[in-house]
Structure formats: structure tokens, C-alpha cells
Amino acid sequence: MTTVTKTVIPVAGLATRFQPATKAIPKAMLPVVDAPSIEYVVAEAAAAGISDALLITGRGQGAIADHFDSAPELEQALADKGDEERLAKVQATNDLARIHVVRQGEALGLGHAVLTAADHVGEVPFAVQLGDDLIDPRDEILPAMIAAQAELGGSVIALMEVAPEQISLYGSAAVEPVQTHLPDTDVVRVSYMVEKPAPEDAPSNLAMIGRYVLGPGIFDVLRTTAPGRGNEIQLTDALQNLAASGTHPVHGVVFRGRRYDTGNPLDYLKTVVSLGADHPDLGEDFLAWLRDYVAGR
Ligand code: G1P
């Protein structure tokens, strides 16, 4: 039985790096092969036993929640055509999770977005998934993070080694070894975190990737966390305040699997190509075409 039943998915950002593609549609609805990126994120939570997903949305983002409703007309049309395969895919999204929505109101930063989840979450540990990061379903990380939080308490972040020159795109963490009873999981104690440091100021090349299992103690800290980098209320700063408090430990699970970034157009393209090449129906034909295409360039 999982100890974590709720996930919080902040999607209210303005997606400035994607304009004008996302001027009128939410970035979370951009297709990654044949499903919008939000579907991958909610499916990842469902695979980890999390059946309650709270979307933190902003203006004009109703389509994200609509995606998880049943669509009787569409389902009937597919049934009439005898397209059982697509019908099954459409219906599968209806049952992935119970979807809830809270409005962020003002885009004051990731920490502020997470704080808007406080009433819904209550006094239990919960997951946070950032929609820009997709985790390959073959390399899941949430179950290990949930197990680490259950054993160690406090909060757990996901870490991944990146090239030193990339660290300024991420939160960065200083870590120490820690013993756990978790098999095959690389868990560390996090002693310090900083949001998007210059490479020369980074405590390590361990980047915080967009998965968290947070103790409810984060909410009180977020209420008093001042705006930080970019004049936004940063989740990283609140976690650093918790780690420094000595009463709420922060641990990290080091991820070595496949992670895809959909946060900017170039990485998004790489994500679509990678997942397209692996796609069970399209992959073989796509990869054959891609090989020819590259050979001809
Ligand atoms: C956010 C977090 C950052 C984290 C990153 C992972 O930044 O603030 O700590 O490393 O997600 O993708 P963003 O990329 O939303 O600016």
C-alpha cells in the first residue's frame, strides 16, 4: 500500500520559452507523439498508485482537466467506426485518476503554486510532479521516493547528475551519504539546496528534477518564504529552509533512468523523437524514416 495518495501538478506557468506555440493552448496539452504531455505525468502517478491528481492551473487552461473527462460523442464516433484501439486509448484517460483543479490566481512562482494545494492535501505527505519533466515509464522514480519518505520522514527530492555547465538551469543540492533499508535505491541526505546557481557557485552537479514527495510541513514554510530567484516564491528555497531547520529532513533519490525535458522547443523535439522511436505502433516505421532522413542530410 502506498503512503502517498495525492499528487500536485503545477501547470499555470506562462510557458514563455514556448511562445507563440502556447499563446492560446496550455503547454501541458502539447502532444508528445500521440498524447498530451500532461497525460504522461498523470499516468506516471497512477502507475505509482496515486489516484488523486490536483492540477494547479491558470487562465485559459480548462482543456487540461477536460482531457481526463469522458467524451461521449467522440467515444461513440470511434465505436461507430469500429476503431476499438483508439477508443480504448481515449477511454483509458477517463480512469487514470480523480482530477481536481485549484486556480493559482497569480503566477508568483512554483512555491506559491504548491502552497495553493494546502487545503486539498491536508496533513499527509504528497507528491509534486512538474509537467516539463517526463520520466520514462520503464524507469519509474516515484515509488522509490515514496518508500524513502515512508522510511525517513520529512521530504524527498529527485536528483540527477547533469553536466556542470547545465546546473544553472536547475536547483542544485549538496548531499551526504545515508543508510536506508531500501534495496536498489540511491538515497542521500540533502544538506543544502540553491535554485539555479551559477556553475561556479553550485554545491554539486546534482540537479533537482521535477519530482518531489513532500511532508505537509512544507506548507507553513512556504507561507513565510520570501520571493527568491526571479522574484518568485521558490520551492527550492522553502526546502532549503526546512533542511536548515533540523526538524524536517530532506533526502534525495538519485535517478539514473531516462528523463525527457519538454520545457523548451529543442528539448521538446528531442523528447518527441525519442518517444516516437520507442512507440509500440509507430516506432519501427518512424525510426526507419529517421535513419534515411539523417543519412540524407
Ligand atoms: C523548476 C525548479 C527547479 C528544478 C526544475 C526541474 O524550475 O524550480 O529547482 O530544477 O524545475 O525541471 P523551472 O524549470 O520550472 O524554472
Closest atom of ligand 1 relative to the 207 alpha carbon: 10
Whether ligand 1 lies within 6 angstroms of the CB of 131 is answered as no
Q: What is the pLDDT of residue 110?
A: 97
Q: What is the pLDDT of residue 183?
A: 87
Q: What is the pLDDT of residue 2?
A: 60
Is 189 contained in some domain? yes
Is 269 contained in some domain? no
CATH number of residue 26's parent domain: 3.90.550.10
Range of the domain at 93: 6-263
Is 282 contained in some domain? no
Q: What is the pLDDT of residue 13?
A: 81
Q: Are 47 and 140 in contact (CB under 8 A)?
A: yes
Question: pLDDT tens across 187-238, in order?
Answer: 999 999 999 999 999 999 999 999 999 999 999 999 999 999 999 999 999 9
Is 87 contained in some domain? yes
Whether ligand 1 lies within 6 angstroms of the CB of 239 is answered as no
Q: Which stretch of DSSP H or E encloses residue 210?
A: strand 206-214
Closest atom of ligand 1 relative to the 195 alpha carbon: 9
Is 274 contained in some domain? no
Tell me how far apart the alpha carbons of residues 51 and 45 are, in angstroms, rounded to a whole number: 7
Q: What is the pLDDT of residue 131?
A: 92
Q: What is the pLDDT of residue 122?
A: 96
Tell me how far apart the alpha carbons of residues 143 and 140 are, in angstroms, rounded to a whole number: 7
Whether ligand 1 lies within 6 angstroms of the CB of 215 is answered as no
Closest atom of ligand 1 relative to the 235 alpha carbon: 8
Is 289 contained in some domain? no
Dihedral over Cα of 109, 110, 115, 118: its sign: positive
Is 295 contained in some domain? no
Q: What is the pLDDT of residue 186?
A: 94
Instruction: State the total domains in the chain.
Output: 1
Is 278 contained in some domain? no
**Alpha helix stretches (DSSP H) within 9-132:** 37-47, 62-66, 72-81, 84-94, 110-115, 118-121
For a ligand 1 pocket test, name from 27, 170, 261, 271 the mutation site with the most ligand atoms within 8 angstroms of its C-beta. Answer: 170
Which parts of the chain sit beneath pLDDT 50? Answer: 1
Q: Calculate how far, in angstroms, residue 210's C-alpha sits from the geometric centre of ligand 1.
A: 6
Contacts of residue 281, Cβ cutoff 8 Å, sequence gap at least 6: none
Tell me how far apart the alpha carbons of residues 152 and 243 are, in angstroms, rounded to a whole number: 13
